[in-house]
Structures are given as structure tokens and as C-alpha cells.
Structure 1
């Protein structure tokens, strides 16, 4: 009988329907991960998720959102329709209201802090890191500090927290003078350097949201005749090789640990978890 069945399979070129098999088992062995877009600031987190999922026998579906709420909402239905077994959220729009009813239909974990304490979060305590950083700079007698972000304060809680921490130690922050938005990569860093170097006064410290951006600032400032650690000091985020090679300070937000923990939560029996991870400021 086995030989007859095998002959029919070969003659008809039959291929097993993987979706049907997964449906019959009630599991897809696939985890969804929403992220705004492909960027170096998410690379360590995504790598950690991919590795941990693979080690547990799961595959990962990356879901780019470009901060579009409708796109995010459409991805959430994948969980509701049982097309994925769990959903990991990275940076997103402020749409906690969409997640509240959905959490009863599948497992969701956010890798950044959300306002709704009923939702699962495994996230870096960025607010604490910002306060520690600006407090240290203020204690050291530094007064001219500039920082950058990707999104504005009304779009991002992260930016709002960074802005509040800055103003607690250095007074009112004016966009375009004390901080810049829409900054996110190496080329943005070079463009920012060109703008800064044209000013009559160079900031003592430039704190940027990404080590690749920091590398761009260093190169751009060098072209304009300003040397890192002599004319200004740069601080980045991510603890990428850039920071070690170019010897600048950075903040490690523990993405590897958070990514692995997010996968472990989705595959566990736990129903809810709120777990802040403490970032590390690496001074160089």
C-alpha cells in the first residue's frame, strides 16, 4: 500500500499543503514582528529574535509598517486570524486602543514601553537612561548640549522622554537649536554636521540617536575642520562597532536580551509580563 501511495504521489507530483498541515495542528510555527522599516537601529533586536525563534523551531515574518496606523492594524489581523502564533511589536504609532481587544485573541509583546499596563512589555528603560545621561553631563559642568531624534515629541513617547530629561537639566529646548528631528542614519549625520559646523558656536556634546548617525557626524565635522574629542564630543546609541572603532560613548539598550525574552514569552504559558531592562551607558 505504501508503494502504491508513493507511486501516485510521484505520478501526480503531489506536494503537501503546508498551510493545511499547520491549520490541522492549530499552530503555524510562525511569529510576526512589526518594525517601521529596515534600519541599523533595529538590527540587533531583529537578529536576536531570528536566532531565538530558529532555536525554538519557529520562523519569523517581518512586517514593515512605515509608521502607518492602517498598515499596523492590518498586520494585527494576522494574529486574530491565527495566521501567526504570536506578535512582537517594535516602534509603532500610538495605537494601544487597537491592541486592547486583540490581546484576548493572541499573544502580543511590545519591545518598547506602552501606556497600557495591561499589555505585555519587555523594553529598555529609556527614560532612566536619558535622565542618567543628561544628569552626568550637567554634573560634569557641560552646558552646551545638542541631541537628535527620529520623530517629534507629539509622535513619539521616546522623544517626549528625551526632551523632558534634557529640559530638567539644561532648560527649554528649542527645535533646530538644541535638538533636531528626522535624523536616523549616516547621511543624516553628515548633513547635520554641515549645519552645526556653519554656526558660530559648536556644542560641547552632540547626542545622536544611533551609532551610524554618530559616525556620520564625526566624518562631517572632520571635513569642516572640527575634531572629535577636541572640538566637540559625540554620544551615540546602540553600542555598534562604529562606537568602538571611532572611540565614542554610546548607550546599549540591551536589544539582544530583549529580543530573546520576547520570543520566550510568546512561546511560554505566561499571560502577561511587564519587564523593563536597564540600559548601559558606555563611556569612552
Structure 2
């Protein structure tokens, strides 16, 4: 395998000159730079990136921890990270953890072992304090709000409040909500928004938990049908859950929004297809901002970047409640 000494002999220059050319050092004479580049092409030299990483202490690789790569929310953030990485000449490694703590520890050890320069954590099961113990090895950026960590986030309290107030503006008072993991930071903020906004009309039995997928949405719809007292409207935690509710109820002969008004959360392509009213979140923007922090020195000051959300109106919540 060709090495830099071979290049030096072929180009009739010193090893130091070859090294400077390989590292784009500005102070190299043009004729010598051209000689080295000609030697690289002639000998088919391929740079040993592992050796480069050992010499520079950087891999130009960012790690991404996320529970599921196929969930639209996570995939959209990953898209933002990927595009930014491409623009900046970085690679990224993705670890799917399924919220298994041992898998999350594996990702953190990769940072400690310098396999990546930094970590972007989309969602996690381990405690924040435990994760931040690894910050001594490099930047860690969360895609959710944590007051003592670098965070790019949406305010789930105010975002959920938008959806709830939209339903109230249509004269709904009997409102239910869907949550994902009940004890996650985001779900706790959403539940608090529900309790504060709906207030006396909030009911524990109208909080449908563990709702993440279309199938979960169908399960929520069946639970709603079996209740003696039903909410007239539901704000979901994702467009996919909303789609599951809508499709299942329509199959059973119910009308949307006449029998049940539904608002989604994400602003995904699915919302466009279903003409779904949804709280739209610019997830790709979250990914791009998280990546920018991870490769800069600003992470050491633990910046907090809030990304705004918007309500996009469709037809699934547009009928006024007459109760």
C-alpha cells in the first residue's frame, strides 16, 4: 500500500512537504504541490482516515441517538441532520435504541471512545444527568428542552395549547388527548397544558397513552367507541395517531369531524393527504440547528434554541360543536 514516503520519493520532495499538501497547508510552492498531486494520482494513493483521526483527534463524524428510525418525527429530524452534515463535509452515525437503556449506554461509550466527535440525542430513556456525565468527552445536544444542556426544542406546552384552544374556539369543552410515553418530558408538558387549558373539563379517562403509531390510533378509536361518556374532540400526539383514529372511525361509520373532531401533531405529509388539522413542527429545522451546535464551540455554553410551531387548518376539526 502506498504511503507518504512513496509519494515523497516519486515527487522528489520531503515527507514534510507531502504532509503539508495532504493537509492543504498554504505555504507550499506551486511546483511542489503539483508534483505531489501528480504522484498521488500516479500511485493511486488513498489516505488512511484512521491515521488522520488519530493525529487530529477528530473524526468529522457526529453520532445520532434515536429510538426509531422509521418514526416520522425522528426521521424528519434525521433528515435535517443529514443535509447539514453533507453541507459541512461531515459524516453521521445513527444508533436506533428502541428506548433500551443498555443500547443508549453503547452510544454514550462511542463518544467516550472518540468514535464520534459529538452526539445529537433525539429522544432517550436514560436520565439527563446520567447522559451529561459523558459531556466531558464531547458535545451532547438534545432535541428537546433540558435547562442545563444544549437543547434545540419546541415548547410542547404552548404547542399543545394551540391545538386545545383551536378546539375550544369551535366550542368544544369535552376534549381528550393522546400521549406517547406518559412519563417523557414532552408528554408531561402536554399533559400539563391539557390540565391547565381544559381545566375543570379535563378527565383522566380521556387521556389516551402509549399512542405513537397508526395502529395505536386505531386502538384509541376503539377505546373511544367503548366509552359511555366520550369527548367530542381529541388532540393527538402525532399525525399518524390522528390518521389511525380517523380511518378506524370512518370504517365503523362515524363521521369526522361531526362525531369526533380530530387534530394531529407534526405537520407531516400524511396531514396533507387527510386534510388534517395539525400542529405543524419544523422538525428538519430542529435537526439542522442541533447539528450546527454539535460542531461548534457554542455547545459549551449550553445554548437553548426554541423552534416555533404553527397550526395548519384542515377539515378534521372544522365543524362547530353544537352540544
TM range (shorter): 0.7 to 0.9
Q: Deviations over 1:124-183 (max 9, x none)?
A: 11111122332343354211211111112xx312111111111122437554x2111111
Contact residue 122 and residue 274 of structure 1 kept, 8 A: yes
Matches within 5 A, 1:1-284: 1-2=9-10, 17-38=48-69, 39-114=71-146, 117-152=147-182, 155-168=183-196, 169-171=198-200, 173-175=202-204, 177-270=205-298, 271-272=300-301, 273-284=303-314
Contact residue 73 and residue 98 of structure 1 kept, 8 A: no
Contact residue 124 and residue 254 of structure 1 kept, 8 A: no
Q: Decide whether aligned partners of structure 1 residues 101 and 199 sit closer, same or farther in structure 2, where only a CA change above 3 A counts.
A: closer
SS in 1 for 2:212: coil
Q: Note the residue ranges of structure 2 that are not aligned, 5 or more in a row.
A: 1-8, 12-38, 315-323
SS in 2 for 1:103: helix
Q: Decide whether aligned partners of structure 1 residues 174 and 74 sit closer, same or farther in structure 2, where only a CA change above 3 A counts.
A: farther
Per the normalisation by structure 1, the TM-score is 0.87
SS in 2 for 1:101: helix
Provide the rounded CA distance (Å) in 2 between the counterparts of 1:170 and 1:137.
14
Shift of 1:94: 4.8
Q: Note the residue ranges of structure 1 that are not aligned, 5 or more in a row.
A: none
Between Structure 1 and Structure 2, the one with more helix by share is 2
Contact residue 206 and residue 231 of structure 2 kept, 8 A: no
Contact residue 78 and residue 84 of structure 1 kept, 8 A: yes
SS in 2 for 1:118: coil
